[in-house]
Amino acid sequence: MKTLENLISKLSKPLTLEICFFAILGVFVVYNIILVIKHFRSWRVPEKFVGQKWYQNIFYYIKRTGWGFLHHKIIFNLLLVGFVGLVLAGFYLPLPHVISPSDPSLGITEISDKNPLIVKFDRRVDRENLKYDLFPAIEGDWEFTSGVIGSDLKFVPKKTPEAETRYTISLKGIKNIFGNASENYLFSFQTPPAPKIVSVSPGDG
């Protein structure tokens, strides 16, 4: 049972799902290209249609180009579509979680407009429900982006944070695109101490 749980856990990882999705999609596309090529190579116009205009037999051509080469392979195509659907469900149905930062209590972390604070989610997050708060408050901008798999939340400060201060970020309403909520996430980081004068040159006297 433990082995099965570990296997399911590994298969549900975003990178594994992404590889499976593109592999299945690639097989689907290549398979159907081969079908089309084989179909048109074997296509012979029936004698009763020779000499007639193409539009006089439009339904025959539609049937021939569509159902004609798929009806023997339709089950395999449906299975491939089903597998792609399952992989997509694996992308979006599981609850999203914060994967970075993974430590709820970070050490000294320096953030600036060139080095923003970034929170990464392993799945796509519903932007409308996501709530975030930084305490003590720092003037800055929050930026939210989503890719095929995950989402990123970035904070770009407009002012330098107070030195030697611990800041706490609270994330609530972490939901997938279907509205299913994950647990709230709380983490903190410490800003570097202010620079100190350690020596003066030349010295007094």
* Residue 179 resides in a domain: yes
Instruction: Report pLDDT for 85.
Output: 76
User: 17 and 81: one domain?
Assistant: yes
Return the closest-CA partner of residue 165 out of 121, 110, 112, 123. 110
Residue 32 confidence (pLDDT): 74
- Burial (CB count within 10 angstroms: exposed 0-12, middle 13-18, buried 19+), residue 170: middle
Where does a domain end: 92, 120, 146? 92
**Which whole-number Å values give the CA distances from 45 to 131, 162, 188, in the listed order?**
64, 80, 73
Spatial separation of the C-alpha atoms in residues 102 and 30, rounded to whole Å: 40
| Domain limits for position 127 | 98-190
| pLDDT at residue 50, rounded to an integer | 60
Rounded CA gap, 120 and 106, in Å? 15
Same domain, 102 and 74: no
pLDDT, tens digit only, all 205 positions of the chain: 556 556 655 655 656 666 777 787 788 778 777 777 776 666 665 666 566 665 556 666 666 665 555 555 666 777 777 777 777 777 677 889 999 998 888 889 999 999 999 999 988 898 889 999 999 999 999 999 987 778 999 999 999 899 999 999 999 999 987 788 889 999 999 999 887 777 777 766 5
User: How high is the pLDDT of residue 14?
Assistant: 59
Determine the Cα angle at 45 with ends 52 and 65, to 5°: 105
